[in-house]
Amino acid sequence: MEVIKRFVSMLERILVSFFILCLPCLLTAGQSAEAEVLTLTPEELANYTFETEQEDPAVVTALNVGQQYILSSQRQLVMDLLARRLGILSLSQSETDLKALQSLVDQKSIAKSDIRSWQAIGVIFGDILVKQHRLKWVFYEDEDGSSKALQWKETANFVFPITLFSRRVQFKQDIVMTDLYEELSGVIDGFKAYEQRLRLP
């Protein structure tokens, strides 16, 4: 019993010491927080400029030989899969290719964990967008990382088809090729319309 009393007494002393030491810090923090509060009139608020972090612009370059080789290897991976599973030996880079890609998805020809093959599907899907919408493959790098992307002319408009499917698989989202194609086509058409408006006098 005596040991418990001594322990409680020691604990009380520690807590009191801690409170005495920390009280000035808490008061200072409270005062500094009060000092930082800024009151604005409705007019001042309407004209107030909020601080924003400056983002480094993305660096966009043409694909080098190594990057082009990687894309070619990914295309070949899908072509081998199409030949083995469906007997398809060529693609046309048109919307008719979507049916072949959808068959691979529906037949579960690619394991969910096979990120490389899902990204290869993204390359073939991207090739369709390139042909149908006159886009081009580029290497895109910003503060979040780097990736191969599709660019509309020399604008700051990009789509990223390579990771599209691997991410959908990762988050257990349905893959319907025609829906995704229409969705991205709508985004690309939006790019084109916006750029067209910028050219108007």
DSSP character string of 142-154: ETTEEEEEEEETT
The domain that holds 189 is classified in CATH as: 1.20.120.1090
In a domain, 137, yes or no: yes
User: Which of 150 and 48 is assigned the larger pLDDT?
Assistant: 150
Of the listed ranges 45-49, 66-70, 109-113, 169-173, the least confidently predicted one is: 45-49
- What pLDDT score does 35 carry? 47
**3-state SS class at 102:** helix
In a domain, 54, yes or no: no
In a domain, 163, yes or no: yes
Taking the whole predicted model, whether its pTM rises above 0.85 is answered as no
Q: Assess whether 91 and 14 both reside in one domain.
A: no
pLDDT at residue 170 is higher than 80: yes
In a domain, 8, yes or no: yes
Question: Which of the four pLDDT bands, split at 50, 70 and 90, describes residue 14?
Answer: low
- Residue recorded with tokens 């030996």: 89
In a domain, 138, yes or no: yes
Domain count, the chain: 2
Q: Assess whether 26 and 84 both reside in one domain.
A: no
For residue 169, give its domain range. Answer: 59-199
pLDDT tens figures, 101-134: 999 999 999 999 999 999 999 999 999 999 999 9
Residue 125 has a CB neighbour count (10 Å cut-off) of 22
Q: Assess whether 139 and 67 both reside in one domain.
A: yes
Q: Assess whether 86 and 11 both reside in one domain.
A: no
pLDDT tens figures, 59-74: 999 999 999 999 999 9
pLDDT at residue 143 is higher than 80: yes
Backbone angles phi, psi at 158, to 5 degrees: -135, 150
Two structure tokens written together for 170 = 């990762």
Q: Assess whether 80 and 146 both reside in one domain.
A: yes
Q: Assess whether 114 and 37 both reside in one domain.
A: no
Q: Assess whether 91 and 151 both reside in one domain.
A: yes
- What pLDDT score does 171 carry? 95
In a domain, 154, yes or no: yes
In this prediction, residues 34-52 reach a mean pLDDT of 64
Q: Assess whether 77 and 112 both reside in one domain.
A: yes
Q: Assess whether 21 and 106 both reside in one domain.
A: no
Alpha-carbon gap, residue 187 to 48, rounded angstroms: 33
Q: Assess whether 90 and 137 both reside in one domain.
A: yes
User: Which of 72 and 40 is assigned the larger pLDDT?
Assistant: 72
For residue 55, give Cα distances in angstroms to 52, 140, 142, 143, 185: 9, 15, 9, 8, 28
Alpha-carbon gap, residue 71 to 121, rounded angstroms: 11
Q: Assess whether 31 and 68 both reside in one domain.
A: no
Q: Give the number of residues written for the chain.
A: 201
In a domain, 52, yes or no: no
- What pLDDT score does 198 carry? 82
Q: Assess whether 43 and 70 both reside in one domain.
A: no
pLDDT at residue 38 is higher than 60: yes
Question: Which of the four pLDDT bands, split at 50, 70 and 90, describes residue 85?
Answer: very high
In a domain, 53, yes or no: no
Is-contact 125 135, C-beta < 8 A?
Answer: no
Is-contact 135 195, C-beta < 8 A?
Answer: no
